[in-house]
Amino acid sequence: METYQIAVIGSGPAGEKAAIEAARLGAKVAIIEQGQEPGGAGVISGTMPSKSLRETVLYLDRLNNDRISGIERELGHKMTLRELMYRKDMVTALRVHKIRTQYKEAGVELILGKARLYGPHQIEIEQSNKPAIQIKADKIIIAVGTGPYHPPDVDFTKSKILDSDKILDLPEIPKSLIVYGGGVIGSEYASIFAKMSVPVTLVEPRGNLLDFLDPDLSSYLAQSLMANKVELHLGESYKTITADQNQVVVRLNSGDQLTAQYLLYANGRQGHSADLGLEKLGVELNHRLQIPVNNNYQTSLPHLYACGDIIGPPSLVSISNEEGRMAARHAVLGEPGRRITEAIPCAVYTLPELAMMGPTETDLIKAGVDYLAGACLFTELARGLILGVEEGLLKLLFERETKKLLSVHIMGQGASELIHLGQAVIAFGGTIDYFVNSVLNFPSLTSAYKVAALNGLARQSAV
């Protein structure tokens, strides 16, 4: 039986970074992936594929709706799904190749197969078309991630009912689509398919889309979706979901009945931990099959670690990367870790893009903070005019007396990149004076920070 110092189960962002970090620190490492290729959901069915499709759709939308270049163009034919998925397939293949290369260079052994713990340090790996193998590891890091939640009263064996793992394997561009769940995944896909001129109906059981966002951003997103002919049903939930070979019928508790060719169910996720053998070892799981850990990413068994989406929110690739590294460093060196709960930038890749850093106005009001807001519309900026943007907002929230920057909220092109300037200023305890007194490139969308800061100062002076 082959023995390793570190065995990592799952090759998504957390597992990948854990394996490479452990190997870099001199450990003998194996990483086990049950899929046909390494990368996990982030590479194969989630983050990178969906964002690649988004970029293709965004490019086509700019071609079709550019009103200021003065250039007439016509695509000449209706796009096929295969053409739309070309970038997604290329990006996935390139990323998989890169991951394999990194493992080889780091000396990490990649084992493809389904892992199951049959002892505290023993792992059995079922391989397709090969006999199962057993390995032993001094320490084990579980990074198996999560998958779409399937409620028991929805029949996912029906070809017209999809989850976020299946949506990119569609055989055709949908003639119509119902998206159930207005969280990150549901909102992103609703906006993408709407830009493809697919009639989309979005149902969200809560009263607002992405209710963790600042109310202004949530409201602007809803307005943008409706402008792209998305039919919104907020605060409504399904009573029944049925499907045949041609369509899906969703009956809402309000009495409304919705019909579409396909349904994307995107309302919750649960851990991929059910068949790992953890409960037999005494490892606790919560109701979503996620694994509780301490600040060092250890489970109730000290030699067994967990990191990434499998341990619960915030379920961001950026956080999973750091969790994987910290779990590996504690496993190899005993270096103390920490749970990352503060100073986290968040981006949602809807069309338009959204990003935030820090508390919302709702949070500040509840906390009794005396604050002011300063805002800038992208249409006010020279760069915005050059790009032809028709929507975009950057909002700063700051303490009234000290002018200390508390949070940044952005909607529009490049929001996920623009947020990092605000993140840096918040991290160093800066004030909005930084933006007022700094020289920023012209023309640039970054200059929205200066305009928003000046707007905030004007409001402060007016009070």
* pLDDT tens digits, one per residue of 89-113: 999 999 999 999 999 999 999 999 9
Q: Are residues 255 and 399 in the same domain?
A: no
What whole-number percentage of the chain has pLDDT above 90? Answer: 83
What whole-number percentage of the chain has pLDDT above 70? Answer: 97
Q: Are residues 59 and 115 in the same domain?
A: yes
Tokens of 45: 């069915």
Strands 346-348 and 354-357: antiparallel
pLDDT of res. 76: 46
Q: What is the CATH number of the domain that holds 232?
A: 3.50.50.60
185 is in an annotated binding site: yes
184 is in an annotated binding site: yes
Q: Are residues 263 and 276 in the same domain?
A: no
Give the list of residues 6+ apart from residue 44 with CB closer than 8 angstroms, or none.
Answer: 35, 37, 92, 96
pLDDT band at 69 (very low <50, low <70, confident <90, very high): low
186 is in an annotated binding site: yes
Q: Are residues 215 and 136 in the same domain?
A: no
Please indicate, yes or no, if residue 346 is contained in any of the structural domains.
no
277 is in an annotated binding site: no
Please indicate, yes or no, if residue 341 is contained in any of the structural domains.
no
Rounded to the nearest integer, the mean pLDDT of the chain is: 94
268 is in an annotated binding site: yes
Averaged pLDDT for residues 206-213: 93
Q: Are residues 165 and 55 in the same domain?
A: no
Q: What is the CATH number of the domain that holds 381?
A: 3.30.390.30
Q: Are residues 306 and 219 in the same domain?
A: no
Please indicate, yes or no, if residue 338 is contained in any of the structural domains.
no
- Among 267, 291, 309, identify where a domain stops: 267
239 is in an annotated binding site: no
Domain extent at residue 416: 352-462
Q: Are residues 278 and 247 in the same domain?
A: no
Q: Based on the structure, what is the number of domains in the chain?
A: 3
Q: Are residues 19 and 105 in the same domain?
A: yes
450 is in an annotated binding site: no
Please indicate, yes or no, if residue 347 is contained in any of the structural domains.
no
Cα–Cα distance measured from residue 188 to residue 431, given in angstroms and rounded to the nearest whole number: 33
pLDDT of res. 78: 66
37 is in an annotated binding site: no
Most confident residue range from 164-173, 287-296, 416-425: 416-425
Q: What is the pTM of this model?
A: 0.93
Q: Are residues 373 and 444 in the same domain?
A: yes
**Whether pLDDT at 73 is above 70:** no
Q: Are residues 127 and 19 in the same domain?
A: yes
Please indicate, yes or no, if residue 68 is contained in any of the structural domains.
yes
Please indicate, yes or no, if residue 340 is contained in any of the structural domains.
no
128 is in an annotated binding site: no
Q: Which pLDDT tens digit goes with each residue over 340-352?
A: 887 799 999 999 9
182 is in an annotated binding site: yes
Averaged pLDDT for residues 370-393: 95
Q: Are residues 136 and 52 in the same domain?
A: yes
Q: Which pLDDT tens digit goes with each residue over 278-300?
A: 999 999 899 889 999 999 999 99
39 is in an annotated binding site: no
183 is in an annotated binding site: yes
Averaged pLDDT for residues 214-223: 95
Q: Are residues 142 and 275 in the same domain?
A: yes
Cβ–Cβ < 8 Å for 343, 423: yes
